[in-house]
């Protein structure tokens, strides 16, 4: 503004001083471990497409990659021997489970190192706009895990799931930031606020127990659940 229209600097300052509208924060969706396991089991691995879908879902859950980042992964960026992958975008290297490497290996055998790992039905690289894999398999997984019917599952939901599960496993928040490719730690701190299970465990450590009362599980107390959600 100072370079192109200096006469409007004071006016611009007045506009910028207007406070942002306060709004209710949207709860970040994620899947519990049994729900994620049910989703991973949903693809029919007897088919080529089912094998690819399972490998892709497992890759998302393992790496915490964004949908677009997973679509861009090249075969040359997979280190099968070392069990890691180079993620572009917010560039970083992520280790992979042996099971993930085992599912990805059949997809890349005999192909050019410059080719994309994940292809669509026509043999072309998938795009972030063409990825609907979770939605299709969520409907199938609902038979085993009815709670999935209440959740909207997208590739980004799986990314949130990965971060939440790492946090529950005791992984340092700064390590999660680097793994997910967050520029600011403030973004990663969101996951520390959303996990009801971890809030309950923290509260239980400070609980004053009464030996004359029967101990109740926190999930059986609606008032406590409402309190934890408000934290």
| 114-137 pLDDT per residue, tens | 999 999 888 888 876 667 667 789
Q: Which of 86, 92, 151, 156 is catalytic?
A: 156
DSSP 3-state of 169: coil
CA separation, residue 52 to residues 67, 137, 146, 213 (Å): 15, 13, 25, 53
Is 159 among the catalytic positions? yes
**What is the reported pTM?**
0.72
Is 151 among the catalytic positions? no
Name the pLDDT band for 148 (thresholds 50, 70, 90): very high
pLDDT at 205 over 60: no
- Percentage of the chain surpassing pLDDT 90? 35
Q: What is the pLDDT of residue 223?
A: 63
Q: What is the pLDDT of residue 22?
A: 79
Comparing 185 with 88, the larger pLDDT belongs to 88
Is 182 among the catalytic positions? yes
Average pLDDT over residues 69-81: 94
Is 216 among the catalytic positions? no
Q: Which of 90, 124, 152, 229 is catalytic?
A: 90
Name the pLDDT band for 164 (thresholds 50, 70, 90): confident
Name the pLDDT band for 206 (thresholds 50, 70, 90): low
Closest CA to 220 of 205, 200, 202, 206: 200
Q: Which of 52, 54, 159, 165 is catalytic?
A: 159
| 92-107 pLDDT per residue, tens | 999 999 999 999 999 9
Is 215 among the catalytic positions? no
Q: What is the pLDDT of residue 215?
A: 55
Name the pLDDT band for 191 (thresholds 50, 70, 90): low
Is 160 among the catalytic positions? no
Map out the domains of the chain with their CATH numbers: 33-188 (1.10.443.10), 196-230 (no CATH)
Q: Which of 116, 165, 191, 199 is catalytic?
A: 191
Q: Which of 54, 116, 182, 199 is catalytic?
A: 182
CA separation, residue 173 to residues 15, 41, 84, 231 (Å): 36, 29, 21, 19
């Amino acid at each position: 503004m100072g370079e192109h229209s200096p006469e409007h600097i004071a006016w611009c300052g007045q506009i910028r001083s207007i406070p942002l509208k306060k709004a209710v924060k949207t709860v970040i969706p994620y899947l519990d471990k049994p729900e994620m396991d049910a989703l991973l089991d949903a693809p029919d691995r007897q088919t080529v497409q089912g094998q690819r879908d399972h490998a892709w879902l497992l890759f998302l859950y393992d790496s915490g990659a964004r949908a677009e980042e997973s679509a861009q992964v090249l075969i040359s960026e997979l280190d099968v021997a070392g069990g890691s992958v180079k993620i572009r975008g917010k560039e970083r290297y992520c280790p992979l489970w042996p099971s993930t490497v085992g599912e990805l290996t059949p997809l890349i055998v005999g192909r050019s190192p410059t080719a994309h790992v994940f292809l669509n039905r026509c043999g072309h690289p998938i795009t972030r706009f063409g990825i609907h894999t979770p939605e299709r398999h969520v409907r199938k997984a609902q038979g085993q895990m009815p709670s999935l019917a209440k959740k909207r599952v997208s590739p980004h939901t799986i990314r949130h799931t990965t971060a939440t599960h790492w946090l529950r496993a005791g992984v340092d928040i700064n390590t999660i930031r680097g793994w997910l490719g967050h520029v600011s730690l403030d973004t990663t701190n969101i996951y520390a606020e959303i996990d009801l299970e971890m809030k309950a465990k923290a509260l239980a450590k400070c609980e004053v127990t009464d030996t004359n009362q029967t101990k109740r599980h926190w999930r059986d107390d609606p008032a406590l659940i409402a309190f934890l959600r408000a934290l």
